[in-house]
């Protein structure tokens, strides 16, 4: 078993943690953000660009990869790492969340979930055993259990039944696992009910996993409720193992998640926002198509060390975006991914130096340079839209 | 005057030439291919990727840049080089060809050409003096005269009138030129009439330019007629100056162009074909979406040294293309541009070693790996289509 998680420090003033994860593909310093590589590529970036941005681990989507190009093809290529030319760590989800978001195209039974492909309508059946088999074919460093993601709102009875199914599926995943070199994480459910969350943590810990994810958050509930549930759940998780908050979130959400003791995050927000011209900077969000940047010769973010900020002006980025040039997608994505990964570096430095609480308070005071309107919800954005070619 | 062209060798068996061009931004070894950077970017590539592919000079389109983002804005940025972060040489066209292709949206007078923007329908008036002024604002290393591109077919009377106008405009461009650091090339017209081509060469040489382009070819005439006209025109051009065949072409066309004594080429073919999944290899053209590449673990071209061929399989490239991933556009473009630039390296090596004629004969024997159908015409592809967002 080559997976290992070492808890290096817990901040005495908050629950923030510093950790070192070791996988078959190297070390991952936590808290960490995982850029999302849905279809075997983090959209618009080469693996070298990801490395230059500081990525140590990325996320791959089992649902998408099994439909296209297929996990058998990827196994024949020697796994997802070789297929996509990425030699650092990969976490794969189970496909459960994407299937959950298919709505009428899916039907859940005790045995597993029947669904139709959003690409061609073909019928598929995913079981806990199959989810593990696929992820073993992909060869990811961290696999996720198939879970039944409880929607919001859900009444207590529904949430409890859904959670119990998740636990039975988690046990079947654990038993199906064959690979020695891959880790398997369990997923805590229980909706926004604190006692269910506690029961879920206990049930999963009793099965025993290499790490634990908090699932079923950022699925439409108010932000306060999400944070309350997280605050009640995270401290219950086994302290010696990695904690992953799935599909979250904004920079502010991530700082709060770290505050509550989370180690791993993923979200399509930096990449998707980049493609839509919404850029994160240390002075706030920038809507690059705004006329105010037409003649602006300054870099996007004076304090950023990314390739885009080192070499191009806001006026040029605006021109590329308005002219719908492919290079706009590259340069914007490079910057936003670097912004997220540099944020994680600042967080780790603050936790290491005992200044995380001060960092958190000053970070929350950040303002938007442009009035970008409400930010899209990171996880809701991930929902599969059958009519779209773009990434769920 | 920092521009210089040195003729290093003329092949004794053919008219192929080896040259060294020096501009304010460095050396350019000829024969050379210029990737097209229509809107201040070679589509899908960073400047660093272009350099890694071996590009020493690129082409910028005056028509597009003056409409968006505007040449004044680019001048304020210190010129096109700084605006787009490209420190090697740039040749700009005059905008004439794109305006010529606007059809009913343009009207030619003695003074200049009235046209409407394909972006917003706004009205503009371009004169020879203005074309030079814009290119001086852009700060390109090589500027082109505004010409009246004679269409095909055109009767002799029309071709003669059109040519005479091009000559009067060339003289006005020459007189309008202020910049000492930028070169100015004249453009030979005359349709497919040999005597007119000869008259055009003489008229332009009498005015005196830093280099000469063969214009009005690859505008719809049969390939044989294009080559016959080129063969009759190129040898008449002043031997000591650079010769540029505008908007051409396929790899085969370029080899033939070199054979007739051409030094500079440009074409959207490698970049546009890449975006459409048509890839050039030393074994022929590959239509990457074909099912035969589904499980193909080999690189696109075993003999190619580009980033794409060094790191990715045909199966992965096919997957990216079918999944409509942005990375497909990057990787395909990197390869096709490298294919063209590596071809130019092979041509220069052959001319230097006295083996160009043998190279040319073996090259013409190349076959298509896939039946890709007839190749799109490179120059016709450049025509402005008002309804398209994509590059003309």
pLDDT tens digits along A79-112 = 999 999 999 999 999 998 999 888 888 999 999 9
Q: Is the domain of B208 the same as that of B338?
A: no
What mean pLDDT comes out for the span B157-170? 98
- Residue A340: its pLDDT value, please? 98
Q: Are the Cβ atoms of B69 and A330 closer than 8 angstroms? A: no
A287-338 per-position pLDDT tens digit: 999 999 999 999 999 999 999 999 999 999 999 999 999 999 999 999 999 9
Q: Are the Cβ atoms of A68 and B294 closer than 8 angstroms? A: no
State yes or no: pLDDT of A380 exceeds 50.
no
Q: Are the Cβ atoms of A316 and B45 closer than 8 angstroms? A: no
State yes or no: pLDDT of B375 exceeds 70.
no
Q: Is the domain of B215 the same as that of B280?
A: no
| Total residue count of chain A as it appears in this document | 392
Q: Is the domain of B185 the same as that of B289?
A: no
Q: Is the domain of B251 the same as that of B316?
A: no
A166-184 per-position pLDDT tens digit: 999 999 999 999 999 999 9
* DSSP letter for each residue of B160-183: HHHHHHHHHHHHHHHHH---SSSE
Confidence bin at B388 (pLDDT 50/70/90): very low
Q: Which among B295, B315, B320 has the least Cβ separation from residue A41?
A: B320
CA distances from A48 to A52, A59, B239, B307 (A): 6, 16, 45, 10
State yes or no: pLDDT of A202 exceeds 70.
yes
Rounded to whole angstroms, the Cα distance separating B343 from B54 reads: 11
Owning domain of residue A305: 273-361
- Residue B386: its pLDDT value, please? 35
Average pLDDT of chain B to the nearest whole number: 93
Put simply, whether B319 touches A (Cβ < 8 Å) is: yes
Q: Is the domain of B179 the same as that of B53?
A: yes
The DSSP secondary-structure symbol of B106 reads E
Q: Are the Cβ atoms of B68 and A319 closer than 8 angstroms? A: yes
Of the residues A227, A249, A267, which one is the last residue of a structural domain?
A: A267
The number of distinct structural domains making up chain A is 2
State yes or no: pLDDT of B384 exceeds 70.
no
**Residue A390 is assigned to a structural domain of this protein:** no
**Residue A383 is assigned to a structural domain of this protein:** no
Rounded to whole angstroms, the Cα distance separating A28 from A32 reads: 7
Q: Is the domain of B99 the same as that of B16?
A: yes
| DSSP 3-state of B344 | helix
What mean pLDDT comes out for the span B55-84? 98
Looking at chain B, the whole-number percentage of residues with pLDDT higher than 90 is 90
Of the residues A267, A302, A334, which one is the last residue of a structural domain?
A: A267
**Residue B369 is assigned to a structural domain of this protein:** no
- Residue A391: its pLDDT value, please? 33
A54-70 per-position pLDDT tens digit: 999 999 999 999 999 99
- Residue A209: its pLDDT value, please? 98
State yes or no: pLDDT of A39 exceeds 70.
yes
Q: Is the domain of A205 the same as that of A341?
A: no
User: Active-site residue numbers of B?
Assistant: 93, 266
**Residue B379 is assigned to a structural domain of this protein:** no
Distance of residue A153 Cα from the nearest chain B Cα, in angstroms = 34
| DSSP 3-state of B278 | strand
Put simply, whether B83 touches A (Cβ < 8 Å) is: yes
State yes or no: pLDDT of B27 exceeds 90.
yes
Confidence bin at B369 (pLDDT 50/70/90): low
Q: Is the domain of B147 the same as that of B243?
A: yes
Rounded to whole angstroms, the Cα distance separating A1 from A158 reads: 37
Greatest Cα pair distance in chain B: 61
State yes or no: pLDDT of B371 exceeds 70.
no
First and final C-alpha spacing in chain A: 32
Put simply, whether A313 touches B (Cβ < 8 Å) is: yes
**Residue A379 is assigned to a structural domain of this protein:** no
User: Active-site residue numbers of A?
Assistant: 93, 266
Put simply, whether A85 touches B (Cβ < 8 Å) is: yes
State yes or no: pLDDT of B337 exceeds 60.
yes
Look-up of token digits 């097209």: B36
- Out of A368-372, B163-167, B261-265, pick the least confident: A368-372
CATH number at residue A253: 3.20.20.105
Residues 351-380 on B with a CB inside 8 Å of A are none
Of the residues A244, A267, A290, which one is the last residue of a structural domain?
A: A267
Q: Is the domain of B205 the same as that of B288?
A: no
Look-up of token digits 């058998």: A72
Q: Is the domain of B311 the same as that of B257?
A: no
**Residue B391 is assigned to a structural domain of this protein:** no
**Residue A378 is assigned to a structural domain of this protein:** no
pTM: 0.94
Q: Is the domain of A288 the same as that of A346?
A: yes
Q: Is the domain of A231 the same as that of A278?
A: no
Chain A residue numbers touching B66 (CB-CB < 8 A): none
State yes or no: pLDDT of B391 exceeds 70.
no
A111-153 per-position pLDDT tens digit: 999 999 999 999 999 999 999 999 999 999 999 999 999 999 9
| DSSP 3-state of B9 | strand
**Residue B91 is assigned to a structural domain of this protein:** yes
Distance of residue B130 Cα from the nearest chain A Cα, in angstroms = 22
């Amino acid at each position: 078993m080559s997976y290992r998680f070492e808890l290096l420090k817990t901040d005495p003033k908050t629950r923030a943690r510093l950790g070192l994860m070791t996988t078959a593909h190297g070390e991952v310093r936590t808290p960490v953000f995982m850029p999302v590589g849905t279809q075997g590529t983090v959209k618009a970036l080469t693996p070298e660009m990801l490395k230059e941005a500081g990525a140590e681990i990325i996320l791959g989507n089992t649902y998408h990869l099994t439909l296209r190009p297929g996990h058998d093809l990827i196994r024949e290529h020697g796994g997802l790492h070789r297929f996509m030319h990425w030699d650092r760590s990969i976490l794969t989800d189970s496909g459960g969340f994407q299937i959950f978001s298919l709505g009428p195209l899916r039907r859940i039974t005790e045995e597993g979930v029947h669904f139709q492909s959003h690409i061609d309508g073909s019928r598929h059946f995913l079981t806990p055993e199959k989810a593990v088999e696929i992820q073993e074919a992909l060869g990811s460093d961290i696999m996720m259990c198939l879970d039944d993601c409880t929607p919001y709102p859900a009444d207590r009875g529904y949430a409890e039944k859904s959670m119990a199914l998740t636990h039975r599926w988690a046990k079947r995943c654990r038993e199906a696992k064959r690979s020695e070199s891959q880790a398997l994480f369990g997923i805590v459910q229980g909706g926004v009910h604190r006692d269910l969350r506690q029961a879920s943590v206990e049930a999963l810990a009793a099965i025993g996993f290499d790490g634990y994810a908090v699932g079923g958050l950022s699925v439409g509930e108010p932000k306060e409720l999400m944070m309350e549930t997280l605050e009640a759940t995270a401290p219950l998780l086994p302290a010696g193992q990695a904690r992953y908050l799935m599909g979250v979130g904004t920079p502010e959400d991530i700082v709060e998640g770290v505050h509550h003791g989370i180690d791993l995050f993923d979200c399509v927000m930096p990449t998707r926002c980049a493609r839509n011209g919404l850029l994160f900077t240390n002075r706030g969000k920038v809507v690059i198509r705004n006329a105010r940047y037409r003649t602006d010769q300054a870099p996007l973010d004076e304090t950023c060390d990314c390739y885009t900020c080192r070499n191009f002006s806001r006026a040029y980025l605006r021109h590329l975006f308005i002219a719908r040039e492919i290079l706009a997608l590259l340069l914007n994505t490079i910057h936003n991914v670097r912004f997220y990964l540099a944020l994680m570096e600042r967080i780790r430095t603050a936790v290491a130096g005992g200044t995380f609480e001060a960092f958190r308070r000053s970070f929350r005071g950040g303002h938007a340079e442009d009035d970008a309107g409400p930010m899209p919800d990171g996880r809701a954005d991930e929902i599969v839209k059958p009519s779209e070619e773009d990434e769920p």
